[in-house]
Amino acid sequence: MLRSLRFLSRPFLLTLLALTATLSLRAQEQPGAAVETEKSNYVYRLTITDRIRISIFQEDDLATMARVDARGNVNLKLVGDLYVAGMTVAEAQHAIEKAYRDGRYLRNPQASIAIEDYAPREVSISGQVKAPGRYLLPIESTFSIVELVTKAGGLTDIAKGTNVIVTRTSSDGKMTTLTVDVDALIRGRKSNNPDNAAILLEPGDVVYVPERII
């Protein structure tokens, strides 16, 4: 390969290298590639009503099955309630180890967690989509608004896809509203709001697709 390249002119080589770099950059900018990256980097976080099995190495008496309660706690033997909602499995394991260590119950605890039952994770979509309703979020993966619209049959002919509204309620009851240009995301166009592409749905989100004024 190297020998054959020696016979090519310098301008041709420079053009070839530039074209290769451009094609590589375009591939990285494809929406599908971004979604795959987000999915591969996704880490599940414990949430209310998850049921988990907690084990402590060489401490069989401390093994327990616990459900994350409405306050985000699990009940540990000897320790009592411990807040774990919003933590990854690894973070929760460290929190459990710290609780037993700080309470001077164990010198060097090694905790492990297995999720036995996942909490239901739903979002809803209404308005100008072909199949409005409630949809389950994937358990250990991200879910974008474009994926939800696609699952709901796509936008209708009179949908205003440039102003799709996402209403989100946080754990403290605070409500926020996001406006997403779904048309731009579907067609791969640049949106006026560059943060649109980074919006991923969360459990309890309510999505509304308004009607376009004709």
- Same-domain status, 161 and 190: yes
- Structural domain that includes position 166: 120-209
In a domain, 11, yes or no: no
- Same-domain status, 125 and 200: yes
CATH number at residue 136: 3.10.560.10
Q: Contact 145/182 with Cβ under 8 angstroms? A: yes
Distance CA 101, CA 96 (A): 9
- Same-domain status, 138 and 165: yes
Predicted pLDDT of residue 119: 86
Predicted pLDDT of residue 41: 63
CATH number at residue 90: 3.30.1950.10
In a domain, 195, yes or no: yes
Per-residue pLDDT in tens (0 to 9) along the chain, 214 residues: 444 444 445 555 455 455 555 544 444 444 444 444 445 566 788 988 899 999 999 999 999 999 999 889 999 999 999 999 989 999 999 999 999 999 999 999 999 999 999 988 899 999 999 999 999 988 777 888 999 999 999 999 999 999 999 999 876 678 999 999 998 888 877 666 655 666 788 888 999 999 988 6
Coil, strand or helix at 163: helix
Distance CA 69, CA 59 (A): 24
Q: Which long-range contacts does 150-156 make (Cβ < 8 Å, 24+ apart)?
A: 152/125, 153/129, 154/129, 154/130, 155/128, 155/129, 155/130, 155/182, 155/183, 155/209, 156/128, 156/129, 156/130, 156/209
* Neighbouring C-beta atoms of residue 129, cutoff 10 Å: 24
Number of domains, the chain: 2
Domain boundary pick from 96, 117, 138: 117
What are phi and psi for residue 55, nearest 5 degrees? -130, 145
Coil, strand or helix at 195: helix
Residues 6+ apart with CB under 8 A from 37: none
- Same-domain status, 141 and 94: no
Q: Which two tokens stand for residue 126?
A: 């209404």
Predicted pLDDT of residue 197: 60
Distance CA 45, CA 87 (A): 5
Predicted pLDDT of residue 30: 47
pTM above the 0.85 mark? Answer: no
- Same-domain status, 142 and 100: no
